[in-house]
Structure 1
Amino acid sequence: MFIKKSILSLVALLTFIMAAKAQVKIGFEVSFKEPQAHYAEVQMNISGLVKDYVDVKMPVWTPGSYLVREFEKSVEGFTASASGKTLKVEKVRKNSWRVYSAKAKDIKINYRVYAFEISVRTAFIDESHAFLSPTGIFMHPAGMIKSPSTVKIIPFKSWSKVSTGLTPVTGQQFTYTAPDFDWLYDSPIEVGNQDIFEFMAAGVRHEVAMYGGGNYDKERLKVDMAKIVEQETAVYGENPNKYYLFIVHNYARGGGGLEHLNSTTLGATRDAYKTEKGYKGFLSLVAHEYHHLWNVKRLRPVALGPFDYDNENYTTNLWVAEGFTSYYENKYILRAGFDDPNGFVNGLAGGIATVLNTPGAKVQSAAASSYDAWIIGYRPNENSKNNSISYYNKGEVIGILMDLEIINATKGAKSLDDVMKAMYLQCKTLKRGYTDAEFKAMVEKISGISFTNFWTKYVNGVDDAEYVKYFGYAGVKVSTENATPDKPVTGAAAQLTNDGLAITSTTRGSAAWDAGLNVNDVIVSLDDVTVSDAISTLRLRAPQVSLESLPVVAGKKIGDVLKLKVKRDGIDKEIALTLKANPSVRLKATIDENATAAQKTVLKKWMGI
């Protein structure tokens, strides 16, 4: 009887707690009094949370972009009130405000957010539109990440449209709901007069919201974007959404993207849609970000959700999350008909060359690059190319090698596609992300062979890719040549300033590196030729200057000495560079017409066409 009464008491207590939480309502109103000054006005309403005080917090980073950005630095004018009376407010942490609510049932919090950073991961507001990246706009009560909320947008007087992946509230214009703050923080909002069009693909309604104009052809994009969606859905066997939103920001020069649960934000160049390169580049970006619908948002490393919005969230698997997605965008572009086999294999060979030509690839592994994203990946300095490698680039190379290894081992029966689908279904079933060991285990299960040595060399190690071997599985020959045969290089990058050529970086092991030429050294003359004379024959379109393009350098041979006069912190100094051969390579891939039947089987499975 005692145990029974204890259980009943516990059930009653849990029921009371759940009912209390259910009574808490959280709502936001966002308006724009001064969009020309880049401000959003936010009102946060909390009702039913009867406490002595409540802490409200703003995330310090945004999922998908692994850098602590301190969004709270843009918040100002934080005030709170209840029943018309001002409440005491105290800032208790860099991103947390304590409101002494004195058990008030209804609390109103007001604050302003300054938003003037153009990127796909940060909020931006001006007189033409507002892009609300939610982690930099909204706050949540501490401990209540799983609470639902509503958001009402009040557009500026000259704006008429709102685009977001949040669920609209029936009968209430520009009002939306989110089941929890994870969903709210993963749902960007575009407000303004964006050009909106739709298309259906894989049984899903897709909306495209174009800001900034451009020479895009809507009808062409509807067809071509749908092809990419269909190819990607085919790999995973299902599409997890019924609605998906593309927010596209078109600028004079734009790029980049950020994935979300049922939407993405893309940066594009407004006048590049009419060129073959520009159009293919945009479709590649679409393919990359849409693939994150599975890889990252659902098929994800275990550390990436539930999120800690106050601190870094570390994982060693961004090489899968981002690197494999970079690899797959090439496969989707091929399978959707926007590339040919020759372009496909040469594009991948170019990706391998990028890693081979990065000195940091010999220093940092793919796993370490993933883990250090927070301190290096998003904050590179002048020496980063020498001591680190992008998990995008290294992960793409690992994806190429792993895919070919699986296909070859199974004689064309299986590929990396099967691994990705199986891991997606595993994450869906277990309702959590995967560990590195689980991902490796699935690769071995699908391929039927051990990948321990592969992991040692390419994931946790810094070995160069054995591209000749792996491409050979598919009957693809790869030739290697020096990037600039017989031409010397300095290994230094420079930028033209009023004082001369300022060194911006030096490459590990190069002539500049060995001679001790430093970043921020200002070259005054080269072999007694002044900088102004040295560049007089060049048509510079940007301040960046290749020293190898200067006649005084171009006329020299490997092994010759180049004498530089530089100023270092205002002090004159002479430096002698013994010019070296360029260590960078070019790779050229050719599909062998005389490939064996086994190689042709691998090639067909690899390309999927």
Structure 2
Amino acid sequence: MKPFKHIITFLLIIFFMNLSVSEAQTTANISYTVSFPEAQAHYADIEMHISGLKQNTLDLKMPVWTPGSYLVREFAKNIDSFSADAGGKTVPSPKINKNTWRIATKGVATVNIKYRVYANEISVRTSYIDISHGFLSTSGIFIYPANMLHQPSTIHIKPYKDWAKVSTSLEMVNNDPFTRVSPNYDILFDSPIEVGNQDVFGFDASGVKYEVCMYGGGNYDKERLKKDLHSIVEQETAIYGENPNKHYVFIVHNHLRGGGGLEHLSSTVLGASRDAYGTEKGYQNFLGLAAHEHFHLWNVKRLRPIVLGPFDYDTENYTTNLWIAEGFTEYYQEIAVRRTNLYPPENYLDVLVGEFNILENLPGKNVQTVAESSFDAWIKAYRPNENSNNTTISYYNKGAIIGMMLDLEIINSSNGKYSLDNVMRYMYTEYYKTKKRGYTDAEFKQGFEKFAGKKLDDFYKKYINGLTPVDYNKYLGYAGYKINDELADNNDPALGVTTAATANKKLIVTSVARGTSAYIDGINVNDELAAIDDAPVTDAATLLNGKKAGDKIKVGVIRDGLPFTLEVTLLKNARVKYKIVPVDNATAQQLLVRKKWLSLQ
């Protein structure tokens, strides 16, 4: 062991070394130029310019994931033709791990880096480029200097051919739409960029300028969208008491069949079906999606679990609270639409009971808690397999149901004085605005208890960290509702499999539900269902014609090219189909809770 005074000297040396590195980093100037010389082949060419360097080596990194989508996607896999030069001379830039390139910069103040990104994956989370447009999901486009996430950068876009518009929440430089600036990399990676000839329109709401950018056409009505999105923005802003943006962008990709959304700090990317706006169901679904992602500008992007920012872009960022971050957002997406009075309360109840039916028909509800579902999102939620329904649930789905339960609990226990809205505003003010940090699981629990007026240890034990079946009638009962199972008297049998027909009309098992006839008696995924009681199988619809629960049947399967005969005892179809109905003779207290919950006049 070294003498104490030597340790102090060593620590001081390290301190000043770190200080000098930090000072060097703060003087660096970073800019990018993005061009599309081979848009037809799905490529973006990136030139990165860094000046003001004062270090011996420079590590450049590509994020492995994008915030809001909890899966390591390895964006570096799309990079090729990486090179660096200084003063016109090539500088070695070896790749030292899966997402890092190292450049020797001793005595070098300025380097230029060139690389290409292949962008051919259509989703709200990934970049896509063709001759019609370029969508840049920025965490998969821009490499960054290690330890310089705080650095600002400038992005100059050279459009392909006749592309004339840029839609992004990044601010313009000198009113040039093709030159944008980002104050740091967290904001850059949270600001997707759409380039092309998208249809752009807007509206003002809650003191904020909103831009809607539509790519891909569609049968949407601009004026109706502006009016209805305005109403949703106003309703969601009212929950938190402020809208923290100056400018917000909805980037909408309309495809033949589209879906999904990804939230960002001051924008969102939505996937939609271009012809679905013409039906009330399709239009309501779109409004719900827009409401969901917009609600995230508070919940997740600012009010967040403590581990979700500052981000580590090299690896997974684990939290047990996605049931709040995503589940509550799913709950509020429909509540916000309900509060606009665009649709009657019955529409909302139909959507809500759909959440019940999804959860209750998943065998995984008896295996995975909602906290575990949140934590394991990185390895399970985005990597489902044929057994996932048997072992997992969705933190979106069960989180939305828990949001309803806690909302009704708070409204009832406070006699209508408080609701879940009060919890969300309190947590936003306390942690994002005042403490300027994320929350812990225990802190959000305290927020619930503050407005429920009671301890929620038992609730957490049962529903957050446990597998207790949801008592729907208890919580709906607060508002004078109950559930009926429309399949309760159905005695139809079920094998418990899902199937897919091949081109030559073979019926192949794609999943087997836990606890069903097929699961118990050994029918496997990838089995071909060939015969039932020696009668050839023709299609899934007639599989069990004439059979009833309790029957013993012989199922002929072909497995790996070999025939098997399995004896199967048919069980009753255990699926439920709930419907929410009012109770008879609701009390004054129940009507008070109902009015508060559903925003009834």
Instruction: Give the corresponding residue for 2:579.
Output: 588
Instruction: Give the corresponding residue for 1:52.
Output: 56
Task: Give the distance between the partners of 1:126 and 1:101, measured in 2 at CA.
Answer: 36
Query: What letter is aligned with 1:36?
Result: Q
Task: Give the distance between the partners of 1:594 and 1:345, measured in 2 at CA.
Answer: 19
Match among 140, 145, 148 for residue 144 of structure 1:
148
My pick for the range that moved more, 163-172 or 462-471, is: 163-172
1:453 and 2:458 aligned: yes
> Within 5 A, what are the aligned runs for 1:374-385?
374-385=378-389
Instruction: Give the corresponding residue for 2:447.
Output: 442
Kept in 2, the 8 Å contact 1:123–1:133? The answer is yes
1:286 and 2:286 aligned: no
| SS in structure 2 at match of 1:174 | strand
Cα deviation for residue 15 of structure 1 reads: 8.6
1:313 and 2:317 aligned: yes
Task: Give the distance between the partners of 2:175 and 2:235, measured in 1 at CA.
Answer: 36
1:227 and 2:224 aligned: no
Cα deviation for residue 350 of structure 1 reads: 2.3
Query: What letter is aligned with 2:64?
Result: V
| SS in structure 1 at match of 2:127 | strand
Task: Give the distance between the partners of 2:76 and 2:555, measured in 1 at CA.
Answer: 47
Q: For the structure 1 residues 242 and 593, does the alpha-carbon distance in structure 2 shift closer, same or farther, using more than 3 Å as the test?
A: farther
Cα deviation for residue 591 of structure 1 reads: 2.8
Kept in 2, the 8 Å contact 1:120–1:267? The answer is yes
1:34 and 2:25 aligned: no
> Within 5 A, what are the aligned runs for 1:23-422?
23-422=27-426
Task: Give the distance between the partners of 1:54 and 1:41, measured in 2 at CA.
Answer: 21
Kept in 2, the 8 Å contact 1:480–1:587? The answer is yes
Task: Give the distance between the partners of 1:104 and 1:11, measured in 2 at CA.
Answer: 24
Cα deviation for residue 512 of structure 1 reads: 0.6
Instruction: Give the corresponding residue for 2:6.
Output: none
Kept in 1, the 8 Å contact 2:24–2:55? The answer is no
Cα deviation for residue 162 of structure 1 reads: 0.8
| SS in structure 1 at match of 2:276 | coil
Query: What letter is aligned with 2:450?
Result: K
| SS in structure 1 at match of 2:304 | coil
Kept in 2, the 8 Å contact 1:284–1:333? The answer is yes
Instruction: Give the corresponding residue for 1:578.
Output: 569
Instruction: Give the corresponding residue for 1:466.
Output: 471
Instruction: Give the corresponding residue for 2:549.
Output: 558
Kept in 1, the 8 Å contact 2:21–2:55? The answer is no
Task: Give the distance between the partners of 1:438 and 1:61, measured in 2 at CA.
Answer: 27
User: Please, what is the CA RMSD of the aligned residues?
Assistant: 1.9
Instruction: Give the corresponding residue for 2:482.
Output: 477
Instruction: Give the corresponding residue for 2:499.
Output: 494
Kept in 2, the 8 Å contact 1:363–1:387? The answer is yes
Task: Give the distance between the partners of 1:257 and 1:163, measured in 2 at CA.
Answer: 16
Q: Percent identity?
A: 54
Give per-residue Cα distances to partners, 1:549-603, cap 9 Å, x unaligned.
11x4132111123322211111111112221111111111123473111111111
Kept in 1, the 8 Å contact 2:472–2:482? The answer is no
Where does the alignment leave 5 or more consecutive residues of structure 1 unmatched? 1-5, 536-546
Give per-residue Cα distances to partners, 1:199-237, cap 9 Å, x unaligned.
111111000010000000111100010000000000110
Where does the alignment leave 5 or more consecutive residues of structure 2 unmatched? 1-8
When normalised by structure 1's length, the TM-score is 0.94
| SS in structure 2 at match of 1:55 | strand
Task: Give the distance between the partners of 2:429 and 2:177, measured in 1 at CA.
Answer: 37
Give per-residue Cα distances to partners, 1:132-191, cap 9 Å, x unaligned.
001110011011111111111111012111111111111544111111000000000001
Give per-residue Cα distances to partners, 1:503-555, cap 9 Å, x unaligned.
11000000110111011111222332323xx23xxxxxxxxxxx3x11x4132
1:568 and 2:574 aligned: no
Kept in 2, the 8 Å contact 1:89–1:98? The answer is yes
Cα deviation for residue 17 of structure 1 reads: 6.2
Kept in 2, the 8 Å contact 1:159–1:191? The answer is yes
| SS in structure 1 at match of 2:328 | helix
Q: For the structure 1 residues 170 and 557, does the alpha-carbon distance in structure 2 shift closer, same or farther, using more than 3 Å as the test?
A: same
Query: What letter is aligned with 1:586?
Result: K
Cα deviation for residue 500 of structure 1 reads: 1.6
Query: What letter is aligned with 1:175?
Result: T
Task: Give the distance between the partners of 1:167 and 1:379, measured in 2 at CA.
Answer: 36
Kept in 2, the 8 Å contact 1:53–1:103? The answer is no
When normalised by structure 2's length, the TM-score is 0.95
Match among 473, 492, 512 for residue 506 of structure 1:
512
Cα deviation for residue 304 of structure 1 reads: 0.5
Kept in 2, the 8 Å contact 1:195–1:211? The answer is yes
Instruction: Give the corresponding residue for 2:598.
Output: 607
Task: Give the distance between the partners of 1:152 and 1:268, measured in 2 at CA.
Answer: 29
Task: Give the distance between the partners of 1:76 and 1:247, measured in 2 at CA.
Answer: 28
| SS in structure 2 at match of 1:376 | coil
Q: For the structure 1 residues 13 and 115, does the alpha-carbon distance in structure 2 shift closer, same or farther, using more than 3 Å as the test?
A: closer
Kept in 1, the 8 Å contact 2:236–2:295? The answer is yes
Instruction: Give the corresponding residue for 2:532.
Output: 526
Kept in 1, the 8 Å contact 2:555–2:565? The answer is yes
Kept in 2, the 8 Å contact 1:62–1:121? The answer is yes
Kept in 2, the 8 Å contact 1:499–1:524? The answer is no
| SS in structure 1 at match of 2:577 | strand
| SS in structure 1 at match of 2:299 | coil
Query: What letter is aligned with 2:281?
Result: K
Task: Give the distance between the partners of 1:175 and 1:400, measured in 2 at CA.
Answer: 44
